[in-house]
């Protein structure tokens, strides 16, 4: 059992962080002949794009190299990056009331320009290029150029397209996902990939998860009985 709890991040002390921990656990599971499958227990609202991608890639490589399935078990929350790391798993189980989905990318900045003007504080900035201080909290919202808006939106769109591809590739009924219990994405699933959250039941209807309500004990029994979804 590998836990993905809280914000997905690559930050940590002395080189230890969520990404490195999960990679080490997968390496141990791959090297242990007694382990038939990995249960990825997710309770996360998401987090960093790169950290989510590194975990998802480690899961794909583990399944390909060791021919052992990773089964995602969603807790109360598996949204955004929490769903990103579930997408490449061989089988995804949620509860009806799991909060999932939130397929999207967001960049935010708090702007303090008006407050600073009110108290008489004026920032002084030296920069090497006109776009170096994009999203600076000290600039007025009106000072954001159309070029800067296009740069930021282009980054968001590129990252979003990557997210969608991870989902579509992970949910294909190929390889180990040929079993009868594996769900395919609904043809209209992208209509719901607009950042909205989904219940576990809604995600099942869209083919984003494969099953509802199985407990950890039930999943262990399925693995031991060589259920065809594996």
Q: Which residue has the higher pLDDT, 115 or 223?
A: 115
Which tokens sit at 221?
């029994």
Q: What is the pLDDT of residue 141?
A: 85
CB-CB contact of 74 with 217 (8 Å): no
Per DSSP (E only), the strands in 109-227 are 197-199, 211-212
Neighbours of 89 (CB within 10 A): 25
199 is catalytic: no
CB-CB contact of 138 with 121 (8 Å): no
- Which residue among the candidates 80, 102, 183, 192 is catalytic per the annotation? 80
Average pLDDT over residues 144-158: 95
CB-CB contact of 228 with 180 (8 Å): yes
Average pLDDT over residues 143-155: 93
The predicted-structure confidence for 5-50, as pLDDT tens digits, reads as follows: 999 999 887 778 999 999 999 999 999 999 999 999 999 999 999 9
Mean pLDDT of the chain: 92
Task: Give which of 71, 51, 66 is closest to 170, Cα–Cα.
Answer: 71
The whole model's pTM is what?
A: 0.90
Q: What is the pLDDT of residue 153?
A: 95
**Could you tell me the pLDDT band of residue 66, with boundaries at 50, 70 and 90?**
very high
- Which residue among the candidates 132, 149, 165, 172 is catalytic per the annotation? 132
Q: What is the pLDDT of residue 177?
A: 86
Task: Give which of 23, 7, 10 is closest to 60, Cα–Cα.
Answer: 23
* pLDDT(178) > 70: yes
162 is catalytic: no
Please state, in angstroms and rounded to a whole number, the distance separating the CA atoms of residues 111 and 127: 19
């Amino acid at each position: 059992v590998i836990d993905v709890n809280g914000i997905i991040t690559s930050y940590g002390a002395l080189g230890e962080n969520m990404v490195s921990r999960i990679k080490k656990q997968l390496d141990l599971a791959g090297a242990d002949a007694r382990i038939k499958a990995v249960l990825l227990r997710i309770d996360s609202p998401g987090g960093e794009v790169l950290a989510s991608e590194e975990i998802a890639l480690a899961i794909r490589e583990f399944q390909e190299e060791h021919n052992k399935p990773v089964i995602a078990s969603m807790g109360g929350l598996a949204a955004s990056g929490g769903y990103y790391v579930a997408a490449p798993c061989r089988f995804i189980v949620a509860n009806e009331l799991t909060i999932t989905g939130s397929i999207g990318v967001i960049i935010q900045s708090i702007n303090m320009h008006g407050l600073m003007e009110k108290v008489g504080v004026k920032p002084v900035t030296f920069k090497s290029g006109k776009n170096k201080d994009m999203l600076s909290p000290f600039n007025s919202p009106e000072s954001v150029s159309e070029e800067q808006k296009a740069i930021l939106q282009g980054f968001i769109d590129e990252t979003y397209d990557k997210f969608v591809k991870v989902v579509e590739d992970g949910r294909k009924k190929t390889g180990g996902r040929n079993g009868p219990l594996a769900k395919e994405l609904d043809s209209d699933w992208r209509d719901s990939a607009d950042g909205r959250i989904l219940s576990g039941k809604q995600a099942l209807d869209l083919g984003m998860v494969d099953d509802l309500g199985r407990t950890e004990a039930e999943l262990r029994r399925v693995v031991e009985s060589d259920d065809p979804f594996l």
